Amino acid sequence: MIEKSVKQLSAMLAAKEISAVEMASEYLARAKAMADLNAFITLDEDKTLIDAQAADTMLANGSAGVLTGVPIAQKDIFCQQGWKTTCGSKMLDNFVSPYDANVIELCRKAGLVTLGRTNMDEFAMGSSNENSFYGAVKNPWDKTAVPGGSSGGSAAAVAARLTPIATATDTGGSIRQPAAFCGVTGIKPTYGIVSRFGMIAFASSLDQGGPIGKSAEDCALLLNVMAGFDERDSTSLEHAKEDYSRNLNTPLAGLRIGVPKEYFAEGLESDVAAAVLAAIEEYKKLGAIIVEVSLPNTKLSIPAYYVIAPAEASSNLSRFDGVRYGHRAADYSGLTEMYEKSRSEGFGAEVKRRILTGTYVLSHGYYDAYYLQAQKIRRIIANDFQAAFELCDLIAGPVAPTAAWNLGEKNADPTAMYLEDIYTLAVNLAGLPGMSLPAGFAANGRPVGLQLIGNYFSEAKMLNAAYQLQQVTDWHTRAPSL
Amino acid sequence: MSLSIEDVARIARLSRIAVTGDELAATQGQLNQILTLIEEMRAVDTSGIEPMAHAQDVMLRLRDDVACEPNRRENWQAVAPAVEAGLYLVPQVIE
């Protein structure tokens, strides 16, 4: 069962070959047996079975949809009523959410069954999952490797077949990079497509939810559930509902795929480049036309991102004050000390670094030099993409310069890890959709991802291109031996 | 641009995060590394370029000024560290 697609699981449930309760129980047993991967922060069998029973009722009374009864893992960033929602932080270790995020509401309405809450870098800040208060997730392909971050738990859970699909979020690559490192498929949609209501905020102008699954088809079906206008998110787009799976079978003949030369320059490991170029060759065989494009300001995405993201984080995370929810220090004298001690104890090192950085760049006299300048560079980067999309329909390249590194390898120097996000950050800055799909393996046997970037609202086209590649390659069906 | 120990202490105070003793010097080093990384951005000529906050340049929506949420005070306060009679308890701030 664990290798089945969402469509196949859905058919099994519809044909009454298996009940939602039985299906959830099988996945839960597997998740428990592989607890050493640390992919989940919370499993709660009773709650899962309540969801599954509700799904079985929907299946029995004819109100079921395509995804009713299908199990899902939720990233621990989406508030879910009655579930501990920690965002990977000690700050929220005691937080049981009193409400549902929009994404959770939509999953509930669709009859999806929550298996548990997946591990993540604290407040989604990190590229290796080592910043989680609950300890790092292990990469299912090699338990000495990082799973990527920040949605490392979601990616590892799908890779290890602990769940068929998972929710995730992407602020600077947090869906695409762990999907690449774990050999699974994930898509970050156009900014504003998936509601941020109830999704614990990191950098509000960049944060975007999206699905992770074994295949492009599974991602399309989950994105159908997650996407939609929500008036409670001020940046949600009033965009008509789409069926993201509608173009999966469209032939690719004549599709123009742009390859940015800057993504294959110095810094890209040769084995990663080889796998990505082989995938692009496959596209040629499928009838796509490969054109060279240029994204000349790619390098500036690192400084622009590491101004904008910390600035917005310092503002968003000011809500954690030990007053209304979250951690409060045990001893303090006076209100200021209560704030300072609660925040100092509740936040981990990377979160503190980013809050301090953000506070500095927003402080008196520096706003124009840093935040405003970064927003202008954002425009330059977005314009570069529009120039490239004059020449092509989709852009293809690597997700990250290397395959997964070893646990602990890059911990000593925080800024060294920032440089690993070079191919993913610009997509968030421009607000474009981006995805990662499996494209083979590096010399050390760890997965490599192919990144596809589309223009605004071109998710269906990207999923089409990914699906077509997955019809002629089998990288996405490879699973780690566990 | 390089931050001094005093700068770091000031930023920590503004952030309401206690950074003390040995942590100050370590934090100073790390923040200066981050600032070095972002410094390259400042030299870029951006004259005449409009800053970008949202890719679609959307306007913030307005809604009618009517109550739309039910009163769920008890639910919200159930997760608070200290409440009494519907109020959040904090240390005394006014003598």
Bridge partners (DSSP) of residue A441 are A447
The Cα of B25 is separated from the nearest Cα of chain A by a number of Å equal to: 13
Residue A391 domain-assigned (yes or no): no
Residue A171 CB neighbours (<10 A): 28
Residue A142 domain-assigned (yes or no): yes
Q: Does A188 touch chain B (CB under 8 A)?
A: no
Cα A204 from Cα A200, distance rounded (Å): 9
* Residues of chain B contacting A414 with CB distance shorter than 8 Å: 30, 33-34
Strands (E), A131-277: 165-170, 185-188, 208-213, 256-260
Cα A189 from Cα A185, distance rounded (Å): 13
What is the mean pLDDT of the segment spanning A158-180?
Answer: 98
Backbone angles phi, psi at A185, to 5 degrees: -110, 140
Q: Is A302's CB within 8 Å of B75's CB?
A: no
In the predicted structure, residue B68 carries a pLDDT above the cut 90: no
Residue extents of the structural domains in chain B: 5-43
Cα A259 from Cα A198, distance rounded (Å): 36
In the predicted structure, residue B6 carries a pLDDT above the cut 80: yes
Q: How far is CA B87 from CA A320, A448, B95, in A?
A: 18, 53, 19
Cα A303 from Cα A290, distance rounded (Å): 30
Residue in chain A lying closest to B9 (CA): A356
The Cα of A431 is separated from the nearest Cα of chain B by a number of Å equal to: 5
CB A202 within 8 Å of CB A174: no
- pLDDT score at B93: 85
For testing the chain B interface, which of A196, A237, A357 should be mutated: the one with the most B CBs within 10 Å?
A: A357
Q: Which of A476, A393, A461 is nearest to A251 (CA)?
A: A461
In the predicted structure, residue B1 carries a pLDDT above the cut 80: no
In the predicted structure, residue B69 carries a pLDDT above the cut 70: yes
Q: How far is CA A354 from CA A83, A122, A357, B28, in A?
A: 27, 12, 5, 13
Where in the sequence is the domain holding A238, given as residue range(s)? 6-248
Average pLDDT, chain A: 97
Interface of A with B in 80-99 (CB under 8 A): 94-96, 98-99
The single-letter code of the amino acid at A372 is L
CB B58 within 8 Å of CB A433: no
How many structural domains does chain A have? 1
The Cα of B28 is separated from the nearest Cα of chain A by a number of Å equal to: 10
Residue A412 CB neighbours (<10 A): 8
Residues of chain A with pLDDT > 90, as a percent, come to 98
Quick check: helix, strand or coil at residue A448?
A: strand
* A301 in catalytic set: no
Angle at A2 between CA A137 and CA A112, to 5 degrees: 80
Q: Which residue blocks in A260-300 are alpha helix, DSSP H?
A: 270-285
Q: Is A415's CB within 8 Å of B19's CB?
A: no
The Cα of A101 is separated from the nearest Cα of chain B by a number of Å equal to: 15
Confidence of residue B61 (pLDDT cuts 50, 70, 90): confident
Read off the tokens for A311.
């600035």
Q: How far is CA B89 from CA A87, A329, A333, A347, B18, in A?
A: 25, 14, 14, 22, 21
Residues of chain A with pLDDT > 70, as a percent, come to 100
Q: Is B42's CB within 8 Å of A328's CB?
A: no
Backbone angles phi, psi at B83, to 5 degrees: -135, 155
In the predicted structure, residue B58 carries a pLDDT above the cut 90: no
Quick check: helix, strand or coil at residue A227?
A: strand
CB A302 within 8 Å of CB A421: yes
Question: A263-288: buried (b, 16+ CB within 10 Å) or exposed (e) per residue?
Answer: bbeeebbebbbebbbebbeebeebeb
Greater model confidence, B86 or B94: B86
Of A10, A127, A150, A215, the catalytic one is: A150
- pLDDT score at A251: 98
CB A177 within 8 Å of CB A418: no
- pLDDT score at B95: 76
* A19 in catalytic set: no
What is the mean pLDDT of the segment spanning A389-397?
Answer: 98
Backbone angles phi, psi at A213, to 5 degrees: -150, -175
- pLDDT score at A415: 87
Q: Which residue blocks in A34-145 are alpha helix, DSSP H?
A: 45-61, 102-110
Q: Is B53's CB within 8 Å of A415's CB?
A: no
What is the mean pLDDT of the segment spanning A457-475?
Answer: 98
Cα A401 from Cα A270, distance rounded (Å): 9
For testing the chain B interface, which of A193, A344, A361, A418 should be mutated: the one with the most B CBs within 10 Å?
A: A344
Half-sphere exposure of A90 (CA within 13 A, CB side): 16
For testing the chain A interface, which of B13, B52, B74, B93 should be mutated: the one with the most A CBs within 10 Å?
A: B52
What is the mean pLDDT of the segment spanning A399-405?
Answer: 98
Out of A303, A304, A353, closest to residue B30 by CB? A353
Q: Which residue blocks in A62-142 are alpha helix, DSSP H?
A: 102-110
What is the mean pLDDT of the segment spanning A273-282?
Answer: 98
Burial of B53 (0-12, 13-18, 19+ CB in 10 A): middle
Out of A323, A360, A380, closest to residue B90 by CB? A323
Residue in chain A lying closest to B18 (CA): A340
- pLDDT score at B57: 73
For testing the chain B interface, which of A89, A332, A340 should be mutated: the one with the most B CBs within 10 Å?
A: A340
Out of A95, A190, A356, closest to residue B31 by CB? A356
Confidence of residue A131 (pLDDT cuts 50, 70, 90): very high
DSSP annotation of A476 reads: G
Strands (E), A59-147: 71-75, 113-118
Residue A259 CB neighbours (<10 A): 19
Residue A479 domain-assigned (yes or no): no
Q: Which of A107, A112, A157 is nearest to A13 (CA)?
A: A112
The single-letter code of the amino acid at A172 is G
Least confident range from A76-85, B23-32, B57-66: namely B57-66
Cα A15 from Cα A24, distance rounded (Å): 16
Q: Which of A5, A416, A301, A471 is nearest to B33 (CA)?
A: A416
Out of A235, A300, A356, closest to residue B15 by CB? A356
Of A10, A19, A75, A436, the catalytic one is: A75
**Cα A467 from chain centre:** 19
Q: Which domain CATH number covers A170?
A: 3.90.1300.10
In the predicted structure, residue B59 carries a pLDDT above the cut 70: yes
Cα A427 from Cα A381, distance rounded (Å): 9
CB A167 within 8 Å of CB A135: no
Which residues neighbour B95 within 8 Å (Cβ) at sequence distance 6 or greater?
A: none
* A270 in catalytic set: no
By DSSP bridging, strand A256-260 and strand A289-293 are parallel
The single-letter code of the amino acid at A8 is Q
Read off the tokens for B86.
């519907």
Q: What is the pLDDT of residues A332-382, one digit of tens each?
A: 999 999 999 999 999 999 999 999 999 999 998 899 999 999 999 999 999
In the predicted structure, residue A289 carries a pLDDT above the cut 90: yes
Residue in chain B lying closest to A190 (CA): B55
Could you check whether the bond before residue A150 is cis, i.e. omega within 30 degrees of 0?
yes
Bridge partners (DSSP) of residue A454 are A394
H or E element in which residue B32 lies: helix B22-39
DSSP annotation of A137 reads: P
What is the mean pLDDT of the segment spanning A9-38?
Answer: 98
Half-sphere exposure of A478 (CA within 13 A, CB side): 18
Q: What is the pLDDT of residues A293-319, one digit of tens each?
A: 999 999 999 999 999 999 999 999 999
